Amino acid sequence: MTMYDGKEMYEGLLFMRSFKSEENLIPDVTLDMLAARKAGIIIKNVLVDDNYSKTVDREEMTDLLGLLNKVDAKVLVVEDIHDITDDANDLKKMMDRINGMDVIIFELRSMSARFNNYNHEC
């Protein structure tokens, strides 16, 4: 368990959708990491999705699930839950799958955890 300023911190993975160059993306990643830290999450890994597709059948989703299995992240941090996908059915399936891995999805836009009770939270 990691402690920061007397508070338990959870290890997280930041997933971002962006079409910016790496140089222009660094400030956004930094701001997201700071926002996550305020919520008690230390970002250990960052995965950027620069694919125009928003379906879950894309390489970045496979990479995301693989990375969540590989690292010890307890929280998946997203700027917006719809960065995963815009399709409501696919989003519910992905949320169920990620939550089933004992990983919490934390949305920076609302500064709240998102769980598989999709109909009540979106």
Please write the tens of the pLDDT for every residue from 60-110: 899 999 999 999 889 999 999 999 988 889 999 999 999 999 999 999 999
pLDDT at 7: 74
Q: What is the CATH number of the domain that holds 63?
A: 3.40.50.1390
Query: Helical H runs in the chain?
Result: 22-38, 59-70, 88-100, 118-121
User: Contact, 71 vs 13, CB < 8 A?
Assistant: yes
Count of structural domains, the chain: 1
Print the domain residue range for 63. Answer: 2-121
Q: Distance of CA 19 to CAs 22, 24, 40, 75, Å?
A: 9, 10, 28, 24
pLDDT in tens, 28-70: 999 999 999 999 999 999 999 988 777 788 888 999 999 999 9
Q: Which amino acid type is present at position 121?
A: E
Q: What is the distance, to the nearest Å, from the Cα of residue 80 to the centroid of all Cα atoms in its chain?
A: 8
pLDDT at 119: 45
- The count of other CB atoms within 10 Å of the CB of residue 86 is 10
pLDDT at 55: 78
